[in-house]
Amino acid sequence: MFARLVGESFVRNPRRKLLTAAALMVGIAVATSTLTVALEVGDRLAREFRSLGANLVVTSNSDTLPLEIGGVDYRPVDEGSYLQEADLGKLKTIFWRHNILGFTPFLDVPVSANRHNETLIGTWYEHQVPVSDGTQFKTGLASTQPTWQISGRWFADNADEAVVGSALAAQDPSDFAVGKTISVAPVIIPAGAPAPPRPLTITGTVSTGGSEDGAILVPLSFAQDISGHAGTYRQLFVSALTKPADALALRDPRSMTPTEYDQWFCSPYISSISYQIQQVMPDTNVRAIRKVAETEGRVLTRISALLWIVTIAALIAAGLAVAATSAAPCSTDAMKSAS
Secondary structure (DSSP) of 6-65? HHHHHHH-HHHHHHHHHHHHHHHHHHHHHHHHHHHHHHHHHHHHGGG--SEEEEETTPPP
Closest by alpha carbon to 274, among 247, 238, 246? 238
pLDDT of residue 70: 46
144 in Cβ contact with 129 (< 8 Å)? no
Instruction: Give how far Cα 273 sits from Cα of 55, 91, 243, Å.
Output: 11, 10, 11
Distance CA 75, CA 334 (A): 91
Question: How do beta strands 198-207 and 161-165 pair?
Answer: parallel
User: One digit per residue, pLDDT tens: the chain, 339 residues?
Assistant: 556 655 665 566 667 667 777 777 777 777 777 767 666 666 666 666 556 678 899 998 876 455 454 444 445 544 457 999 999 999 999 999 999 999 999 999 999 887 788 999 999 999 999 999 899 999 999 988 888 999 999 999 888 999 999 999 998 888 899 999 999 988 876 665 566 789 999 999 999 988 899 999 999 999 999 988 899 999 999 998 888 778 888 889 889 999 999 999 999 888 999 999 999 998 899 988 865 555 666 666 777 777 777 777 777 777 776 676 666 555 444 444 444
pLDDT of residue 335: 44
Q: What is the dihedral of CA 57, 61, 66, 72, to 10 degrees?
A: -60
pLDDT of residue 289: 80
pLDDT of residue 337: 47
pLDDT of residue 39: 64
pLDDT of residue 200: 94
pLDDT of residue 309: 79
